[in-house]
Structure 1
Amino acid sequence: MTRVVHLHIGAPKTGTTYIQTRLGRNTRTLADHGVHFPSTTRLARPELSQFRAALDLTEQDWGGAPGHADGAWDALMRRVRRLDGNVVISHEILAPAKSRMIERAMKDLAGSEVHIVYSARDLARQLAAAWQESVKQGRAWTFRKFLRRSRMGKPFMMQAFDIPDVLSSWGVAVPPERIHLVVVPARRRNGDVAADGEDTLWTRMCRALAIDPAWAPLDSDAVNASLGVAETQVLRRLNQELGRQVAREGEYDELLRRMVADGTLFHHRSAPVTLRPDNYDWVEERTERSLEWIAASGIDVIGDVDELRPQRPDPDERWHNPDRVRKRAITRAAIGALSSMTAEAARRPDPHGLAARATREIKRRLEP
């Protein structure tokens, strides 16, 4: 039986966690239909195994101990070579991989019919989400600095968002008809995804992966709550105070990330983070360059490419500067975080005192 490998390489902030966890929750029913979302061991979730494999391939540690992912890519490849049918590999850090890494991946997948799958959304939304995600991961830069560096193409995520560069690099050894661009559904002006947004994304992704949506009936259980301007500012200042350059316990970082992701750290959400109005010109220029490349490339496009065009805000609508948030809003968000941390410290067995120390740190930040 022929082995087809669908390599979903990103991009970040395009619903990848939703897709990966839904695939992971339905491995058995998918396997019944000849679709495999492999793990390197029986005990590890496929999403985690494939993340470690992607780290190994791209020569990253991502905050873990140096070398902690060594051998993970080879282990995944050994598993893939034992499979027939449709094999799905997915992680968003693969998007900006260097040419030597792509060559290694293609060499390791020799003998398989490889398809490249890349999901994209409008760049204005993507940049706002990417800055929030970087703060969740411990960065302390301002939104203004992030956008300035993004315009220069510096941050990892901006490299991953560059559709022509990413797909030209990965497409060197793959014909255009085997490159699938999945367009993430656009947002309405009220900020909501269309009512069937997740279903539309899932249906589009299934088409790219050659999966019948009915083969994965269990929905994703992943939560990655977005933050408003005040909540992001509180977390950014906390990162700044803690100092990413100072060694911190992994469990401590994980505690903050988990509580932010599942929406339990902050009780309320302030105004959403949106692109600064004077940044739309260069974002639209980048988008048009991408659309021109897509039109000339001959790749398979799933969805409406017009949904990649950023929607400028209503000129009468007030823009909330994420770098200049009112003190009252910051205090409210910080008190909510303090309350959540206090409850977490009281609820959990905490032999290292991590929740308690995090609570004390937030409390100290509130003191005049």
Structure 2
Amino acid sequence: MIVNLKGEAREFESPKTIEEIAESISEGLKRAAVCGKVNGKLVDLAYSVNEDSDVQIITFNDEEGKKVYNHTAAHILAQAVKAVYPTAKLAIGPSIENGFYYDFDFKTPPTVDDLARIEAEMKRIIKANLPIERQVISRKKALEAMTKYDEIYKVELINDLPQDVEISFYQQGDFVDLCAGPHLKSTRLIKAFKLTSLAGAYWRGNVNNKMLTRIYGIAFDSKTALEDYLIALEEAKKRDHNKLGRELGIFMTSDVIGQGLPLLMPKGAKIIQILQRFVEDEEERRGFMLTKTPFMAKSDLYKISGHWNHYRDKMFVLGEEGKDDEVLALRPMTCPF
């Protein structure tokens, strides 16, 4: 069996797991390996390669490695929550750009003060060095298992999977979760983590569905990396424009107006005025000349530009074609017409 490792062809007796292939390169790579990639597909370290393949050993230094690392941390979070809150229902728990999250349906949602208790349980699970093993089962057995444990969100997810999709679960200790993977091979491999915040999230992002509780966190392969991240996070909070803008009297918001719609106070309006003057002066210095066009024009002009055919149903029109001599409309965008 020929395995192509970043352009270097190596011959192995078939089959060989990703971990064994990593070990054949160096003990250091074996220890650093998070998962593997075989012919472009991410797989667990326990995955067996049994034919000629392109193989890449993925570590935490790879972006894909960070995602797998944090995804495993999300599963550990879910296991901890089920231990601390046995009646909580599991939704989804992916890795994201900065860490991971998991959505839960609690009878009584936890508060930020409760995160320390969940973290303590996560640390216990990590210390227990639980093997993380992948299991592939039939759709029928998957539905039976999730129905038995009253995991209603998992049942919905399974029912929505295409019929030809392989259904897999990952087990660590007595905890099992629906997941395509891949994951780390053991809970102990999570070296450092922090639960960072709580938020509300509608199931599947649909406002018509139930509001769930989302717990955010982040994991690293060293305590130093986590400490550096938390320091950077605190520094970023000090420079948060949303916080500074309010404190400096630049803007304010009101629930009557709506979220994300700031009201510029005198200082904020002055900043906008100065910036606008700068832009206008710079444009003039570079030879541009300012023109002004009406916000409204005859429909004939929009027909020439093509806007009439594309945006007619969403335009504000004054008059009716066939009845009025002149039909006017507000321009549908910021270009002249």
Higher relative contact order (CA 8 A, sep 6+): 1
TM-score (norm 1): 0.19
Q: Which has the higher strand share?
A: 2
Q: Which has the higher helix share?
A: 1
TM-score (norm 2): 0.20
